Amino acid sequence: MDGALSIRSMSVAFGGVTALDCVDLDVGEREIVGLVGPNGAGKSTLVNGVGGQLEPSSGSVRLGGVRLDGLRPFQRARLGIGRTFQRVAVFPELTVREHLLVALRALDGDRTPWLRLLERSRPEPAESRRIDEVLSLVGLADRADALVSTLPLGACRLVEIGRALVGGPSVLLADEPSSGLDGRESATLTTVLHSLRERGTAVLLVEHDLALVAEVSHRVVVLDTGRVIAEGPFAAVMADPEVRRAYLGQVA
């Protein structure tokens, strides 16, 4: 029961195709774990299985000792799973600040939906402080009141990260946060991930950009055709011949 997130023998099958085959994976407290692997290895499937977006065929997920199995995505979010999506899932009609406010209040639980009905959607001072804190963490403080539909993709990814972080999650699932970003946007992302590392936020980072993974993660897990084929420190894992064959062989 050590660590933030522990996945035990998770399997996912789509029809006859086995996307994940008995995967074990742990993310410790204050640890950033890079999850890498070639396309179709099952990385996003794993993240969706943890986030509740799909129901695994078997296996279990615990967050700080609490079983998440069978819970719906919003329930998992309230228990401390924050996540971003490979294809950004933002709300174009809301401003950046409203994104964070919505998440902050929703994560509070909906014990009082009837009160929410007439509650003004303007942040309380305490909420404002928290939102500003997260906004400056993800570097969006100067664009807090912009409509998200007016922001470039890179900023949208940061909005997603901010939305996931605002409730203070036990673990952040970041699904390919760097895809589609230009150089400058990637640099901002790297800074954000570095500050997460300093603050001790547990992160499961699914990423194609190996340089980014090497730079920010404590540990790397390699997935290939639904199995974990290696895990450990970045340099050691990349030296593994099986990893080179399965993963780097395709890249090179």
Sites of contact with other proteins (CB under 8 A): 51, 53, 72-74, 77-78, 83, 85, 88-95, 97-99, 101-103, 105-107, 110, 113, 116-121, 145-147, 149-150, 160, 163-164, 167
Minimum gap (Å) between residue 50 Cβ and other proteins = 11
Give me the least distance between CB of 102 and other proteins, in Å please: 5
Min separation Cβ 249 and other proteins, Å = 28
CA atoms of 66 and 40, how far apart (whole Å): 29
* Residue nearer to other proteins on the CB measure, 97 or 130: 97
What distance lies between CA 88 and its chain's CA centroid? Answer: 12
CB atoms within 10 A of CB 150: 10
From the list 27, 37, 81, 63, the residue with the least C-alpha distance to 202 is 27
Task: Return the number of the residue (24 or 133) whose C-beta is nearest other proteins.
Answer: 133
Least distance from other proteins to the Cβ atom of residue 77, Å: 4
What is the CB neighbour count within 10 angstroms for residue 93?
Answer: 9
Comparison of 128 and 190: residue with beta carbon closer to other proteins:
128
104 φψ region: left (φ > 0), alpha (ψ -120 to 50), beta (else):
alpha
Nearer to other proteins by C-beta: 54 or 210?
54
Cβ distance to other proteins smaller for residue 85 or 247? 85
Give residue 250's Cα distance to chain centre: 25
CB closer to other proteins out of 177 and 243? 177
Cβ contact 159:98 at 8 Å: no
Rank residues 24 and 182 by Cβ distance to other proteins and give the closer one.
182
What phi, psi does 151 have (nearest 5°)? -90, 150
Count CA atoms within 13 Å of residue 235 on its CB side.
0
Residue of 180, 178, 184 lying closest to 161 (CA atoms): 178
> Which 3 state secondary structure label does DSSP give 217?
coil
What is the smallest separation between the CB atom of 92 and other proteins, expressed in angstroms? 6
The CB-of-32 to other proteins minimum distance in angstroms stands at 20
Q: How far is the CB of 230 from other proteins (least distance, A)?
A: 29
Q: What are phi and psi for residue 146, nearest 5 degrees?
A: -85, 145
Tokens 């400056």: give the residue. 136
